[in-house]
Amino acid sequence: MAPQPFTGAFTQQEQLDDAAIAAAVRVMKTGRLHRYNTVAGETSEVALLEAEFAAWQGVPYCLACASGGYAMHVALLAAGLRPGEPVLTNAFTLSPVPGAIVNAGGKPLLVECTRDLVIDLEDLERKAVSSGARFLLLSHMRGHIVDMDRIVAIADKHGFEVIEDCAHTMGAQWGGRKSGNFGLAACFSTQTYKHMNSGEGGLLTSDDPEFMARAIILSGSYMLYERHGAAPEAEYFEQVRLETPNCSGRMDNLRAAILRPQLAGLTANIARWNDRYYTVEEVLQRSGLFHLPERPAAESPVGSSIQFLIEGISEADARQFVSDAKALGVELKWFGDANPVAFTSNHHSWRFLDDQHLPQTDEVLSGVFDMRIPLTFSLEDCAHIAEIVVHCGRLLALKGAA
C-alpha cells in the first residue's frame, strides 16, 4: 500500500526571526544601505558581519560579497589566475562553479567523481600533472567532503593552490577542522537555500593577508578598505590599491543585518539539519535499495540535503522514479538528466566549456538522486518522505523483477 502523500514544500525556508527583522528595519530606517555609507563613529553591518564570521570560522580575514559565485570569481582573480589558464574542479558540481572559473578568465578542467560523490583523487593527481594547473577550485558538492588530508598532500606535492567552495559545508568539519580552512581561501554562499539566508550573498575567508588585500580592492572597496571588519593591515594595500581593478561585488548592509542573527544560531541549526538528515538516511539505508554515499569518521557534515544512488538505472526508469515520488509529494532531482532542470544540471549541458571525457562521472551521475531537507520539515516529516522514497524504490524493483 502506498504511503499517504506528503504535502510539505521542499523550497520553503524558515521565516526570519524577530531579531533579523528588527535589524533589517533598523538599517532601512537609516537609509544607509551601502556598506561604506556610515556616520562618524559607526561600524557598518557588513563590517560587523565580516568580523563575526571570521571569528566563527577561526580565520583572520573575511570579505562579504554579493554572492557565493562572486566570492569564487574574486578569489581566483586575487590568487593570480591568468587568462586562459586551466583550473581543476569537480565534474560533479553545480554550474556556478565552472561559471566562476570562466568569469575569472580560466578554463575549467573537470575531475572525475566517485560513487561517494567526492572528487576522485587519482584522477585529480593525473590531471594536476598533465595540465600543470596552479589552482583547484574544490567543490564540497552537496556537503560531501573528500579526504582533506590527502587533498593537502596532493596540492603540496604538485604545487597548486586550493580554493574551497563551501556553499554546502558552512560549519562542516574534517578531522575537527572547519571546512574552508585547508587551502588558500574558502567561498561561502548565503543564497536562500544555503545555511544562512539573505536571498543572495557570499563570504570569502583566508589567512593570507596579501590575497585578502587584493580581494578587497577587487570587490569594489575604492580606497575605503579601512572600513572592513576583518581586513589585513594597511601596509598590505599600499601597492595593490593602485594595481588592482574594481570589479564591484559588495554585500550591502541590509543583507548583512539579517545574516548576523542567523550566524548566532547557526551551530544550533546544524544540529537540527543533521537530525533530519540522519532520520532520512536511516530509513533509506535500512531498505537496502540504494547506495548512500559513505560518510567517513573524520567528516562532520551539515545535512541540509541528501543524495542516494540507484546504480544501473535506465533513463526511462529514472524519470518514472522521479515522477512516482512527485505524485506522492516528494521532490527529487536527478543528476543524470542531460537537460538542465532548474538548479540541477551536469557537464553535458555546460556548453560554455570544452567537451570533456568523463565516463566514470557519467556512470555515477546516471543514478544520482538528490533531495532538499529544509528545517521547516519535522522529524516525522522526514521519516514520512523517506518512506515514500523507499515505496517508489520498491515499485522500481518490482518492475525489474517482473
Distances (CA, A) of 255 to 27, 166, 201, 233, 252: 10, 19, 7, 26, 6
Give the tens place of pLDDT for each residue, 243-300. 999 999 999 999 999 999 999 999 999 999 999 999 999 999 999 999 999 999 999 9
* Residue 218: Cβ within 10 Å count: 23
| Backbone φ and ψ of 25, nearest 5° | -60, -40
Segment 19-42 mean pLDDT: 97
CA atoms within 13 A on the CB side of 47: 16
Identify the pLDDT of residue 343: 84
DSSP symbols for 192-235:
TTSSS-SSS-EEEEES-HHHHHHHHHHTT-TT-GGG-SS---GG
Give the tens place of pLDDT for each residue, 112-148. 999 999 999 999 999 999 999 999 999 999 999 999 9
* Residue 278: Cβ within 10 Å count: 17
| Backbone φ and ψ of 87, nearest 5° | -130, 120
How does residue 338 score in pLDDT terms, banded at 50, 70 and 90? confident
- Beta strands 161-165 and 135-139 are parallel
Look up cell 524519470; give the residue: 319
* Residue 86, beta-bridge partner list: 107
Identify the pLDDT of residue 401: 62
The percent of residues in the chain predicted with pLDDT above 70, rounded, is 99
Measured in Å, how far apart are the chain's first and last C-alpha atoms? 18
Tell me the C-alpha distance between 326 and 337, whole Å: 16
Distances (CA, A) of 248 to 71, 124, 192, 244, 312: 11, 33, 22, 12, 46
Is 103 strand, coil or helix? Answer: helix
Is residue 402 pLDDT above 70, yes or no? no
Tell me the C-alpha distance between 37 and 82, whole Å: 34
Give the tens place of pLDDT for each residue, 167-213. 999 999 999 999 999 999 999 999 999 999 999 999 999 999 999 99
Tell me the C-alpha distance between 7 and 255, whole Å: 31
Model's pTM, two decimal places? 0.97
Structure-block grid coordinates of residue 339: 537537460
Give the tens place of pLDDT for each residue, 62-80. 999 999 999 999 999 999 9
Tell me the C-alpha distance between 354 and 173, whole Å: 34
How does residue 386 score in pLDDT terms, banded at 50, 70 and 90? very high
Identify the pLDDT of residue 346: 93
For each of the domains in the chain, give its residue range(s) and CATH number, in order of start. 18-264 (3.40.640.10), 266-401 (3.90.1150.10)
The percent of residues in the chain predicted with pLDDT above 90, rounded, is 96
Give the tens place of pLDDT for each residue, 302-317. 999 999 999 999 999 9
Identify the pLDDT of residue 299: 98
How does residue 382 score in pLDDT terms, banded at 50, 70 and 90? very high
Look up cell 528595519; give the residue: 25
Within the chain, how many helices (H) and strands (E) appear? Answer: 13, 13
| Backbone φ and ψ of 35, nearest 5° | -65, -25
Are the beta carbons of 321 and 388 closer than 8 angstroms? no
